Amino acid sequence: MSKRKYSEVEMIGALKQLEAGRTAADVGRELGVSKHTIYAWKAKYGGMSVNEAQRLRQLEEVGALRGKRAAGLRAVGAGGVEFSVCEPARR
């Protein structure tokens, strides 16, 4: 089974349908996810706007990159270019 990533717009839209009175099972069936996934989205993004959810994802990506830097691992940047994150840039 393939895993699809949903955008913040889709997740917030699903939560707005949930708030409007639709059941989690109905919303999940429409999107092709389980009701448990809908509830997980609600726990993470409930009450947020789309902009706030996008900002949260950006901050999570930055945190993951910092974790890789602390571990001295290599990361892949935009365009698939691999770069080292183990040493800060020298000025």
Mean pLDDT in residue range 41-68: 86
Residue 90 lies in a domain: no
- Residue of higher predicted confidence among 88 and 64: 64
Q: How many domains does the chain have?
A: 1
Q: Give Cβ neighbours of residue 60 (< 8 Å, ≥ 6 apart).
A: none
Position 54 in a domain: yes
- Answering whether pTM is above 0.85, one says no
| pLDDT on residue 2 | 58
Report if residue 3 sits inside a domain.
no
Q: Give the residue-averaged pLDDT of 25-29.
A: 95
Q: Which residues of 12-42 are buried (b: 16+ CB within 10 A; e: fewer)?
A: bebbebbeeeeebeebbeebebeeebbeebb
What is the rounded average pLDDT of the residues 34-41? Answer: 94
Closest by CA to 68, choosing from 51, 83, 89, 46, is 83
Domain that holds residue 33: 8-84
Tell me if 1 is assigned to some domain: no
Q: In this model, does residue 40 exceed pLDDT 70?
A: yes
Least confident span in 6-10, 15-19, 66-70, 77-81: 77-81
